[in-house]
Amino acid sequence: MRNPAPIIALLFLAALTLFLIFRKPPVPTPPPEEKLPSVHSVLGEKPDWTQLQVFQHTITRADFERLIRDIFTTDSTWQEYITILDEFAEILTNNDPNEPRFVLHFAKPEHSLPTPRHWKTAASLPARPAKKPLTNLHIAIDPGHIGGEWAKVEGRWFQIGEAKPVTEGDMTLQVAKLLKPQLEKLGAKVSLVRSKPEPVTRFRPENLTELAANDDALTDPISVQRFTEKLFYRNAEIRARADLVNNTLKPDLVLCLHFNADAWGDPKTPTLVLNNHFHILLNGAYTADEIRDEDQRFEMLKKLLQRTYEEELSVSQTVAETFVNNTGIPPFLYHPSAGNFRAIPSSPYLYARNLLANRLYDCPVIFMEPYVMNSVPDYNRIQAGDYLGLRDVDGKFVPSIFQEYAKSLAQGLAKHYGEKIE
């Protein structure tokens, strides 16, 4: 019997040849679409874009484009995420261009719906008594930084020899406690965001070490410690205050109190300077990197659509004018290379900047930056402490710097809100 193996082999080769000739070419598997990663700020939350639905038909195309171009951004990066058409804007809700976009419909100039917000504008307040121009206004005072045992951690501490240390968080709290009764006397309801030199947040630096593990640049215990400390006082603390302001206090206006400073070098042998200055910050001037963060883009639009800028501008102009009339302080000048600000044409004392507090607080924010803690004139006034009346400091009779701060701010607010009285 002949061996069948060669015949079987020939038949197999023939079948394989026919298969290769007539088979359908395989459909190639498309490569997965490249997606940009979701981007959020550190400790930021994924935004709920449905919150912006209430702003449909409340802003015209012209106002929306003007605000986003001239106030809320520093360059054209926003156009990668927001497309403005005649009747609506399309907004990327995350950084994947294939995901559905949020569509914001513009208002017709003659059929604009009212802007929904929980805070009251100056124009919406009813007539007030002449001596109580802040009646029906709820003001929250946010004394910047923490102070106390945390002042060195924050980097808002320096000391010259055996003199009293300069600690910004304690100084802002001192001003807040002077300012509160003055505003109440003018008719306002006043809440303190903090009333003692302690954090509002429940977090401490040691609770944030897990986040340091995600940063390859943090290679030693010292860098990890500095990272977690900054995360604690610059981020977690402000977010806790925002939660308190937005969900519990719900004021009409927040006053963020700060003292400015120039670089002082070693806090144990600080450099004193001769100049002092003053400015107020409004929310705006989001940089390219900030626009790319989904949560910051959302928060920017929420501020824009609430029309906080108009109220911040109106109040700040009066406050700045009054403050300067009382103090004679010159304006602060940002270096053009900074790239994270916009000058406000109506006043040399006003700038737009995107800070965590004036971004997250869900109402208008007046972010005060008067004086220079390490300037010779202001340092000596700080060392003089709080007092009533005038005192000779460096050959000039001047009020307490803390009294002057509180009184000037109270007078500015009284003047602004006192325009509509009984």
Domains and CATH numbers, the chain: 49-105 (no CATH), 138-417 (3.40.630.40)
Q: What share of the chain is helix, strand, coil (3-state, %, to 5)?
A: 40, 15, 40
pLDDT digits (tens, 9 = 90+) for 240-292: 999 999 999 999 999 999 999 999 999 999 999 998 999 999 999 999 999 99
Q: How far apart are CA 128 and CA 134, in angstroms?
A: 7
User: From CA 62, how far away is CA 234, in angstroms rounded?
Assistant: 36
Tokens encoding 180: 């509160």
pLDDT over 70, % of the chain: 89
Element (H, E) at 158: strand 157-158
Contacts of 328 (CB under 8 A, 6+ apart): none
Lowest model confidence (mean pLDDT) among 67-76, 111-120, 148-157, 343-352? 111-120
* CA diameter of the chain: 129
pLDDT digits (tens, 9 = 90+) for 22-80: 443 333 333 333 333 445 677 888 899 999 999 999 999 999 999 999 999 999 999 99
* pLDDT band for position 191 (cuts 50, 70, 90): very high
Share of the chain above pLDDT 90, in %: 78
CB 207 within 8 A of CB 213: no
Q: Is the pLDDT of residue 101 over 80?
A: yes
Residue 227 sits at φ, ψ, to 5 deg, of -60, -50
